Amino acid sequence: MLIQDIILKKRNGHPLSTEEIDFFVKGYTAGVIPDYQASALLMAVWFAQMNERETADLTRAIADSGEIVDLSTIDGVKIDKHSTGGVADTTTLITAPLAAACGGRVAKISGRGLGHTGGTIDKLESIPGLDPMLAMDDFIRVVSACGLAIISQSPNLVPADKLLYGLRDVTGTVDNVSLISSSIMSKKLAAGADVIVLDVKCGNGAFMRSVDQARTLAAMMASIGRQANKPTSVLITDMSQPLGQAVGNALEVEEAIQVLRGEVTGDLKRVALALAAEMLVAAGLSEGIDRAEARLEAALNNGDGLQRLQRMIELLGGDPRVCDDSALLPRAAETVMLKADRAGYLIDIDSVGIGQAAQLLGAGRATKDDTIDPAVGLEVKVRLGDRIEAGMPVAELHVNRRDHLEAAVEKVRGSLTVDDQIPRAPELIYARIRSREE
């Protein structure tokens, strides 16, 4: 088998066989196939596309390139949850403890962020003392003890994905549904959960800008789950504005805790409950979404969800007192309030611009080697459709260094558009797609 024949076959629009896809992934991971030939095949895939069977084969080959986690010693149905990413998307820190409080076993291997916001691991690392780098035996022990664990991804997990993503990033082949789906789902399959729940974001702050694009991606990932015999549920949710108010690592942890304490409502809570309900239904722990959401509301109101998060923090070496006293989280040296310069209605929020402002303050990375400041970030005080008055506070920046403060302020100001016309409110949850229903 020759890689150049595989390149030509895909370039000419023909589907690749399972064996050809295995040959490519194994050869590239081993360093036998060079970057220039792998790049040519990725570009051929980008133009000619892959069908559902090819995409599932690529996903399995990437998943099999490294360690496959065995969670069989954990009692109950193991659940994994993933979001395609957005701004102020702190749902994992809410969904996981709530689902655990209702009988789920949430075993999540997560990553750090690259770009304008931190990932889930970056958020957790803002908790004093917490260490998300657990060995598999300890990961299993924590899930068994409190019903959930969120740990950092091992280098032994899906090494092919890391190599292929790095190549896609520099060859203009990131935005292909099969390549995106196989990257996400290979990590989920390798992580060993029984069921998978995905949150596909769409809007100006998401990778998939339109609902149709998001639906295509969701359907492909559900198809992969079905072919892998992993029940997979996907919600398509809105990212036309930051999901929560806080953008920044310790700030987002604090907001998640406030939701679990019943102090914060709104879109972040609504999406988190919808995802957690999907987790319970997918795991067979609830007969329907309405019943699942009622159980989750009860776990939130009686404090069971917060207690689960507190216990996980303690088992990961963190200070559990942060759940009672958010002042123990890292704090910025100063805050800067940004006020509206005109009256009207908030008709648009550039979510990426808000994220970039947080990155300028130090809350995100420009390169993978950058150090994140866990204390900094910003809070957006307004939502789409709000009536704004001149001089009204619209954002609060949490600052440790002033070298990029002016640029961050201008970025926030330019991300908020106020006009006289009342805008139409966006949908929050656009669709639900399940592998079992296909």
Residue numbers annotated as active site: 82, 161, 168, 183, 187
384/371 Cα distance (integer angstroms): 32
Measured in residues, the chain has a length of 438
116 Cβ partners below 8 Å, 6+ apart? 87, 352, 355, 356, 358, 359, 363, 364
Helix (H) or strand (E) holding 148: strand 148-152
51/251 Cα distance (integer angstroms): 42
DSSP 341-378: SS-EEEEEE-HHHHHHHHHHHTSSBSSTTPPP-TT-EE
353/201 Cα distance (integer angstroms): 17
Our measurement of the distance from residue 208's CA atom to the centroid of its chain's CA atoms, rounded to an integer in Å, reads: 13
Contact 81, 108 (CB under 8 A): yes
Question: Torsion angle of alpha carbons 170, 172, 177, 183, nearest 10°?
Answer: 0
310/260 Cα distance (integer angstroms): 11
Contact 41, 11 (CB under 8 A): no
Which tokens belong to 119? 């990932």
Helix (H) or strand (E) holding 299: helix 289-301
349 Cβ partners below 8 Å, 6+ apart? 204, 240, 241, 242, 380, 384, 415, 416, 417
Contact 385, 345 (CB under 8 A): yes
120/136 Cα distance (integer angstroms): 19
